[in-house]
Amino acid sequence: MAAAAVAQNKPAIRRQCSTGSIKRCGRLSFRRQLSFDHKLNEAVRFSFGRQSSMDPNRRIRSPKDEHAVPENLDCTMQLLFMACTGDADGVDELLKEGIDVNSIDLDGRTALHIAACEGHMDVVKLLLNWKVNIDARDRWGSTAAADAKFYGHTEVFNILKVRGARAPKIRKTPMAVSNPGEVPEYELNPGELQFRRGEEVLKGKYQVAKWNGTKVSVKILDKERYSDPDSINAFKHELTLLEKVRHPNVVQFVGAVTQNIPMMIVSEYHPKGDLRGYLQKRGRLQLHKSLRFSLDIARGMNYLHQCKPEPIVHCNLKLKNILLDNVGQLKVAGFGLIKLSKVSTDKFRLAHPRDDIFNLSIYSAPEICRNEIFDASVDTYSFGVIVYEMIEGAQPFHNKTREDAVRLICLEGKRPQLKYKSKGYPSELKELIEECWDPEPLIRPSFSEIIVRLDKLYAQCDKGQWKDTFKLPWYVIILHKFVRLTFLALFLRVHFDKNFGVPLQFP
């Protein structure tokens, strides 16, 4: 046979995917196609019978009511279907026609996987005689031996072991569930996430990937942390918060991978980056943009503080945790990363102060720096520093080292002066900033109050009540007046000559 001859001469020929490339005429295609490549729109997932033992969404659909192979199946799917029903003669006939014994479906499952799941000994022996790849793994890493053992088919498992099958160790995540019905609604199939080829996977950091053709941000939990209860609890805590928030000014949660390795959190992707990068490129912002950005942040934070049954206190609000979407709207991100201990209804403490103390910055409220009990007003303090930075185009005490700046603003209570365009900015905005970063938490306004005050300022800005004052150099002003006079003289000359027929003479 042609297929057998090619297989003998080229043992490296890989398995063919069920994509309809092999028609009923028996013509073969040995072009390798990934079982989980979603660019292959014609690829098919075999959904009959028992599914992979490692599939977190296992379901069972019995093929017993089917008396014949459905007409719409290609040759690969026919092979899998017959293996599922235990039709050894049908499988043998297809293989004699030249169908690759290692053909796979969209999930990377071979006929041996299917037969092992169903416990069809005759089909398993037949496939082994046809030199099937006994250790082939599906997209979840399961082998035929692992599937047979999982579903309790001892005889099939034993013959596979005798033939040299290696049953892989079942790798479970700390959040794995035994009942498929308990799989979280947000669970994503890791095979649907496509990372750029050759790109190093950085654990603990967000990376860009594609999920069903859409760019997303993916945060991968390092496997070394699976045995650390604190890391797993932090991962669960972040997931809990992300799952319940929905607001235009809060980063959108897409889903997570908790039943497969590696564990991942997936959120919406923002190609324009964060507010830190935006200010580094643009510098200080104009009044109307500063107010609009401030409103976006305040609305997102007000939503987090109003969440039920408990408010979400960010505790790490800074420029890097504020993202910019394609239409220029800001979204708050990075909440839930700092673990808090609840003291009372609205009072908190840092759960791990020794670890979090290294993350202190000029955005950290004084009570956090001193490891004291605090409330949601710590986010208001950070907001005040951010608004100042948008107006000035630089951090407070930017000419100092990070440690000195934190000491001055957090511990010694010093505040920088608003210098740039001080006459062009309304006094109400300066007062709001001073109240937000006041050392006394009781003086800091809530975000609901901040929104009301900013809305009023933004409306006055639209009416042109405040205009940015910018004084041009004297030589630019003189040049501008000269150009205007020159154009006026040319206009008068042309107009006078056209109407009176006499050229206008200038001394």
- pLDDT tens for the chain, 507 residues long, are 434 443 443 333 334 444 433 333 343 333 333 333 433 344 567 777 888 777 766 655 554 444 455 666 778 888 988 999 999 999 999 999 989 999 988 888 899 999 999 999 999 999 999 999 998 888 777 889 988 888 889 899 999 999 888 765 656 788 888 777 788 888 888 878 887 754 545 555 678 888 888 899 998 888 777 777 888 888 888 898 898 899 999 999 999 998 887 889 999 999 888 999 999 998 888 888 999 999 999 999 999 999 988 889 999 999 999 999 888 899 999 888 888 888 888 899 888 777 666 667 889 899 988 889 999 999 999 999 999 999 888 888 888 888 888 888 887 888 888 775 555 678 889 899 999 999 999 999 999 999 999 999 988 876 555 544 444 555 566 777 777 788 777 777 766 666 555 555 555
Question: String of b and e for 79-95 (b: at least 16 CB within 10 Å)?
Answer: bbbbbbbbbbebbbebb
Domain ranges across the chain: 2-162, 180-268, 275-462, 471-507
Cβ-contact 112, 147 below 8 angstroms: no
Class for domain 275-462, per CATH? Answer: mainly alpha
Q: What is the structure's pLDDT at 421?
A: 53
User: Backbone phi, then psi, for 187, in 5-degree steps?
Assistant: -60, 130
Encoded tokens for 376: 């949601």
In whole angstroms, what is the distance from residue 470 CA to residue 488 CA?
26
Encoded tokens for 56: 């977190």
262 preceded by a cis bond (ω within 30 of 0): yes
> pTM of the entire structure?
0.63
Cβ-contact 362, 386 below 8 angstroms: no
Q: What is the structure's pLDDT at 41?
A: 41
Give the pairing of strands 206-211 and 193-195. antiparallel
In whole angstroms, what is the distance from residue 280 CA to residue 153 CA?
63
Q: What is the structure's pLDDT at 66?
A: 47
Give the pairing of strands 330-332 and 340-342. unpaired
Question: String of b and e for 382-393 (b: at least 16 CB within 10 Å)?
Answer: bbbbbbbbbbbe
| Cα 412–chain centre separation | 39
Give the pairing of strands 253-257 and 214-220. unpaired
In whole angstroms, what is the distance from residue 107 CA to residue 43 CA?
10
In the block, residue with structure tokens 């209804």: 345
Sign of the CA dihedral 334, 338, 342, 348? negative
In whole angstroms, what is the distance from residue 349 CA to residue 115 CA?
57
Residue 340 per-residue DSSP state = E
In the block, residue with structure tokens 């039943």: 259
For the domain spanning 180-268, the CATH number is: 3.30.200.20
Topology, domain 2-162:
1.25.40
Q: Quick count: other Cβ atoms within 10 Å of Cβ 177?
A: 15
CA distances 172 to 190, 227, 263, 297, 366, Å, are: 14, 12, 10, 39, 43
User: Backbone phi, then psi, for 314, in 5-degree steps?
Assistant: -70, -55
In whole angstroms, what is the distance from residue 239 CA to residue 186 CA?
10
In whole angstroms, what is the distance from residue 178 CA to residue 69 CA?
33
